[in-house]
């Protein structure tokens, strides 16, 4: 008989009032949105006996999650506005804006949600110094065609205590 393992046993301290969930079969990740706006993610590789929980927080609050057409989408409340955001494993910032222009330019607008925030910038695959968004825009020192602008995030890794067996 098939016997399922309760994977939430490892995350009782993380799971608190879940309000939405979705599963990405390709990435083998379960996303669980909590009422407090956090997102808990379980990555599971059963054949390899690997299960890993993590908590993701944003400058705002996760409200909902959905997986469809090979993409993972979130509704995120930032201030009083709701945004539909897509998970992109190739973009390394939160609340990201990706600009692709035919001709290189120095001014990129449409960033009013980030007003007053310090953002990370990657222009034509070059990491530039951080900037504070003012009047919904950033101005680069040099023209660029492909620019990614978004909020920084920090990875915190907490290892498990060592398992010391009796010999």
C-alpha span between 24 and 5 (Å, rounded)? 19
**Between the CA of residue 81 and those of 60, 77, 98, 110, 113, what are the distances in Å?**
10, 6, 20, 15, 9
Average pLDDT over residues 7-15: 64
Give the SS3 label for residue 113: helix
Give the SS3 label for residue 47: helix
pLDDT per position as a tens digit, 69-100: 989 999 999 999 999 999 998 888 999 999 99
Per-residue DSSP letter, 93: S
pLDDT per position as a tens digit, 102-158: 999 999 999 999 999 999 999 999 999 999 999 999 999 999 999 999 999 887 777
pTM above the 0.75 mark?
yes
Hey, what are 18's tokens?
């879940």
C-alpha span between 79 and 98 (Å, rounded)? 21
| Residue 110 β-bridge partners | none
């Amino acid at each position: 008989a098939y016997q399922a393992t309760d994977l939430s046993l490892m995350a009782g301290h993380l799971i608190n009032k879940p309000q939405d969930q979705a599963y990405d079969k390709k990435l083998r990740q379960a996303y669980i949105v909590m009422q407090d706006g956090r997102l808990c993610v379980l990555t599971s590789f059963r054949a390899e006996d690997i299960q890993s929980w993590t908590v993701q927080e944003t400058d705002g609050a996760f409200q909902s999650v959905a997986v469809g057409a090979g993409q993972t989408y979130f509704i995120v409340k930032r201030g009083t506005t709701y945004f539909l955001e897509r998970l992109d494993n190739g973009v390394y910032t939160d609340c990201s804006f990706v600009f692709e222009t035919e001709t290189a330019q120095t001014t990129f607008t449409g960033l009013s949600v980030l007003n007053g925030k310090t953002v990370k910038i990657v222009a034509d695959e070059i990491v530039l110094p951080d900037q504070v968004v003012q009047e919904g825009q950033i101005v680069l020192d040099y023209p660029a065609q492909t620019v990614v602008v978004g909020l920084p995030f920090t990875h915190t890794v907490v290892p498990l205590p060592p398992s010391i067996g009796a010999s």
